[in-house]
Amino acid sequence: MLQLARHVPWLLYCSTMRMLISNTTVIGEGGAVLPATDVIIDGGKYVGLLPTGKAQGPFDKSISGEGKILAPGLFNAHTHLAMTLFRGKAADMNLMQWLEEEIWPVEKKLTAEDVHWFSRLGLVEMIRSGTVGFADMYFFMDEVAQAAEEAGLRALLSYGIIAPSADRVEPELRKAEEFASAWNGTADGRITTAFSPHAPYTCGPELWSQATKLARELKIPIHTHLAETKEEVDRMREQTGRTPVEWLEGLGVFSVPTLAAHCVHVTEKDCNILAAHRVAVAHCPTSNARLACGIAPTTDLLNGGVCVALGTDGPGSSGSLDLLREMRMAAMLGKLRQTDPQAIGVDQTLAMASKNGAAALGLRNETGTIAEGKWADGILVARRNAHMIPGYSPLTDLVYSAEKADVEAVFVKGNMLMEGRRLLTLDEERITAKCRELVGKYR
Ligand SMILES: [Zn+2]
């Protein structure tokens, strides 16, 4: 709490600042590139995008954007931050083997202190790679919420419910409800909450129905895993005669806004159901590839009108929280699946990681693009390094060539979280030292 008290007044101060980012290259709406632009931020929002030299002062703060790209901040639409604890613990397994042999047994040892530090470790990595908001479901979520509040990011947070037996339904729902009620709308509106039955294969119909009812009452969304593996779909078909998407629709789950991670194995009918109910999909290409789940049909989903965002999933399965890497994977796997280089364009790829990610977090029309009236959630990316030269297309370079070390500044609602690669809200040295110490009991 000491750290929180130290940081909050600073964040409040900054959000009232009038700030200029001068002479930068903006990636605007629809991927439009605006060279030599002055960007004015006031009250935490973009209020002016003008040709360089036209911005009128005074400004409380001025940053040179010369030689840099100003891009929308990235949104990680599905992760489990504290699973940084399990990064690299196992490799070369399929999903169920990985969960049953490597993850679920050690998660029983998990403490609030572990989540406190390893979620902060994840936040360090996310800020350093240009992420401004994320959707997270896990355990000890008060710790994750405090970490997000302190770090200054946006977050859609939920307690992950796993209730395979009837006696777990009530206690799990109470835990989820307590967390969701306590944190929704906190941190100056940066934190919102969701209900998260983990998946159709870990929660029964009674829990799903009750969770949907509670989500409707609290006016919050549902965030879950859906159709991640072929085995999940086959088992559900055997048991119910329906696909997991059809099964959740039949239970009325999609009557509340839903964010569904993965959707790798979906039929044409499933795609139509997801589109009709405006279910947002968090596509996690690296995790899906590493666990050999398959390649989600992102082109079909996007063409069918589904809002497809990007997620890293937990670093235990993906190895990384870097959304720049995730964008590249999404674009390349999407093209490979269709054997069509035009299957997913660079503008669509950036939109999945920014505009669609914001929509998946319930922030459609509020942020996710750089335009007047939108919240100033953005990143400055250097163009000077060798791998970004010669620089014909800033958008193509951002999607296919940029590295996280090129991300120089990250801001949310106009508040700087990182500037000149220096983290301003988290103590990276202390966090990494503490995580190295805590991992001892899991080795
Ligand atoms: Zn997940």
Distance from the CA of 34 to the center of ligand 1, in angstroms?
36
Instruction: Show the tokens assigned to 113.
Output: 């202190």
Residue 7: the pLDDT is 43
Distance from the CA of 162 to the center of ligand 1, in angstroms?
13
Distance from the CA of 227 to the center of ligand 1, in angstroms?
12
Residue 5: the pLDDT is 38
Q: Do the first three CATH levels of 2-72+374-428 and 74-360 match, i.e. the same topology? A: no
Distance from the CA of 109 to the center of ligand 1, in angstroms?
19
> Which residues in 333-372 are b (16+ Cβ under 10 Å) and which e?
bbbebbeeeebbbbbbbbbbbbbbbbbbbbbeebbbbbee
Report how far residue 171's alpha carbon sits from residue 168's, in angstroms, rounded to the nearest whole number: 6
Distance from the CA of 87 to the center of ligand 1, in angstroms?
14
Distance from the CA of 54 to the center of ligand 1, in angstroms?
46
Distance from the CA of 385 to the center of ligand 1, in angstroms?
34
Distance from the CA of 101 to the center of ligand 1, in angstroms?
17
Give 270-277 contacts, CB < 8 A, sequence gap 24+.
Answer: 270/227, 270/243, 270/245, 270/246, 271/297, 271/300, 271/301, 271/304, 271/306, 272/304, 273/245, 273/246, 273/249, 274/245, 274/301, 274/304, 274/306, 275/301, 275/304, 275/305, 275/306, 277/249
Torsion angle defined by CA atoms of residues 152, 154, 158 and 159, in that order, rounded to the nearest 10 degrees: -20
Of 423, 415, 427, 439, nearest in space to 120 by CA: 427
Task: With a cut of 50, say whether residue 9 has pLDDT above it.
Answer: no
Distance from the CA of 287 to the center of ligand 1, in angstroms?
9
Percent of the chain with pLDDT over 70: 96
- Tell me the average pLDDT of the chain: 95
Task: With a cut of 80, say whether residue 397 has pLDDT above it.
Answer: yes
How many residues are there in the chain?
443
Distance from the CA of 346 to the center of ligand 1, in angstroms?
25
Task: Spell out the CATH class of 74-360.
Answer: alpha beta
Distance from the CA of 225 to the center of ligand 1, in angstroms?
6
Distance from the CA of 201 to the center of ligand 1, in angstroms?
13
Distance from the CA of 80 to the center of ligand 1, in angstroms?
6
Distance from the CA of 314 to the center of ligand 1, in angstroms?
6
Distance from the CA of 315 to the center of ligand 1, in angstroms?
10
pLDDT in tens, 30-84: 999 999 999 999 999 999 999 999 999 899 999 999 999 999 999 999 999 999 9
Mean pLDDT score, 2-10: 42
Distance from the CA of 138 to the center of ligand 1, in angstroms?
9
Distance from the CA of 14 to the center of ligand 1, in angstroms?
34
Distance from the CA of 274 to the center of ligand 1, in angstroms?
19
Three-class DSSP labels, 112-155: HHHHHHHHHHHHHHHHHCCEEEEEEEECCHHHHHHHHHHHCCEE
pLDDT in tens, 189-248: 999 999 999 999 999 999 999 999 999 999 999 999 999 999 999 999 999 999 999 999
Q: Which helix (H) or strand (E) covers residue 63, if one does? A: strand 61-64
Give the pLDDT band (50/70/90) at residue 6. Answer: very low
Report how far residue 233's alpha carbon sits from residue 243's, in angstroms, rounded to the nearest whole number: 6
> Where are any strands of DSSP class E within 304-414?
308-310, 378-382, 407-412
Distance from the CA of 136 to the center of ligand 1, in angstroms?
8
Instruction: Show the tokens assigned to 437.
Output: 């110490």
In this structure, whether the domain defined by 2-72+374-428 belongs to CATH 3.40.50.1820 is answered with: no
Instruction: Show the tokens assigned to 327.
Output: 């964008």
Going from N- to C-terminal start, the domains of the chain cover: 2-72+374-428, 74-360
DSSP string, 2-29: HHHHHHHHHHHHHHT-EEEEEEEEEE-G
Distance from the CA of 258 to the center of ligand 1, in angstroms?
15
Distance from the CA of 260 to the center of ligand 1, in angstroms?
10
Mean pLDDT score, 398-409: 98
Task: With a cut of 60, say whether residue 1 has pLDDT above it.
Answer: no
Residue 91: the pLDDT is 83
Distance from the CA of 195 to the center of ligand 1, in angstroms?
14
Give the pLDDT band (50/70/90) at residue 15. Answer: low
